[in-house]
Amino acid sequence: MHGAGTKPDTTKNRPYNAVLDITRLTSRVGRGPFTGVDRVELAYLDWCLSASEPLYGLARISGGHVVLDRAGLLVFRSKLLGELPWGARDIRARLGVKTPKARGEAESDLRRLAVVRSGPNILPQLPVADGVYFNIGHSNLNKVSLSGAREAGLTVATLVHDLIPLDWPQFQREGTVQRFEEKMRVVARYSDLIVANSADTESRARYYFDQWDAHPDYVTSHLGLAPCDENFRPSVNNRSNFVTIGTIEPRKNHGLLLDVWGQFESELPDDQIPALHIVGQRGWKNEETFKRLDLWRGKCWLHEHNDMDDPALRQLLVGSHGLLFPTIAEGFGLPSLEAAQIGIPVLCGDLAIHREVLGDYPVYADLQDIYLWKKTILEQAKQRQKDLVHAHKAKKPKIPTWSDHFDAVNAAVTKLL
């Protein structure tokens, strides 16, 4: 539930050679549940593997680059999903004192699986001379990779998830804004096709890329969600409960929810305060929020889940009275769309991206209006849990599929080729 499903549904075959960058997935080994961006890259891996045309994977790892063929990618995927264990660390990984053990195991396996390798400052000789290089995960966005792929005769297609670090620099960690801008300037200069996850993201990309005098082609295609069984049975809880999903960082605006629950604590008996489930790891520049969470640790109505897997998260969400999504900025907002997919009420800020993908489904509330958030939460909390979904009459938005997404990408790529 942290992001998109990983099994694309039926779509047209990929009628061209492909090189998929898997740097992001490699870097995430040993770092907990997949994020939304991770799942999108995994969905692209599944899609690329589903076609018979030649396929290779490129990864930038410690000390250089590796290229995997289809057989290597299948092994990599199985290890990534826990179907096969990672191998022992090789000498390079053991000597790399800054490399975490799990990632060292993954990088060692990639070196063993590689059909071609190179150092850090040059791209390996790619086994295909035409087709498309896909970079999906906002990783390995540098001149070596993108320009190198072009020089090898490949069309470069880059998926842009958001431009939030440029739009909201005050929410970012020290030094990340400059690095992100450098990456996006490389994307703007060397990409032939920008895949935008929403019209809102495309608009922001065009705004910056036009300033940088870069004019790639664009295609907007919403990220897909895997089909789900809507005949779920919510668990029975004595206490009403709400869920919020996302890394605990400033733009996710957890402080608003803590303000609301602070008022609940001063006005309601403990057994009448709705439960708040915060799902996500602690991030950055949010010390005041962390202090409040630590202060309230042990409260019967506050639950912080830093490492929840997908099945547990799904059960938590389907048994809730609603998803609370007070984020200040979002590239796509998968959690809210996933909640809508199963009929769970959504309370969120009135952002352009929410209007684009959710339509009139959510209750939109001003992010400065604590009273409205509090009032809406209490109204939903009074609903009997088993009747809540049936009582939620808002028309569901159109749920995008991976088939739709990849059909749009295929059409745009084919036009360029």
Domain ranges for the chain, please list them.
Answer: 18-225+402-416, 241-391
The gap between the terminal CA atoms of the chain, to the nearest Å, is 35
Q: Hey, which CATH number is domain 241-391, 3.40.50.300, 3.30.70.20, 3.40.50.720, 3.40.50.2000?
A: 3.40.50.2000
Question: What pLDDT is stored for residue 388 in this prediction?
Answer: 58
Contacts of 97 (CB under 8 A, 6+ apart): none
pTM as predicted: 0.91
Question: What pLDDT is stored for residue 234 in this prediction?
Answer: 55
pLDDT over 70 at 119, yes or no: yes
Per-chain mean pLDDT for the chain: 91
Helices (H), 51-122: 70-80, 91-95, 101-113
Q: Fold match between 18-225+402-416 and 241-391?
A: yes
Question: What pLDDT is stored for residue 227 in this prediction?
Answer: 82
Distance (Å, whole) CA 246 – CA 2: 8
The per-residue pLDDT for range 376-404, each reduced to its tens digit, is 999 999 876 555 555 556 678 999 999 99
Question: What pLDDT is stored for residue 232 in this prediction?
Answer: 55
Question: What pLDDT is stored for residue 390 in this prediction?
Answer: 54
Cα torsion 136, 138, 140, 141: sign: positive
The per-residue pLDDT for range 232-289, each reduced to its tens digit, is 555 556 689 999 999 999 999 999 999 999 999 999 998 899 999 999 999 989 999 9
**What average pLDDT does this structure show over 201-213?**
98
CATH 3.40.50 fits 18-225+402-416, yes or no: yes
More confident residue, 18 or 309: 18
For residue 228, name the pLDDT band (cuts at 50, 70, 90): confident
Question: How far, in Å, are 196, 245, 266, 349, 399 from residue 338 at the CA level?
Answer: 19, 11, 33, 17, 9
Please answer whether residues 66 and 116 qualify as being in contact, where contact means their C-beta atoms are separated by less than 8 angstroms.
yes
Range with top average pLDDT, 33-37, 111-115, 223-227: 111-115
Half-sphere exposure of 139 (CA within 13 A, CB side): 18
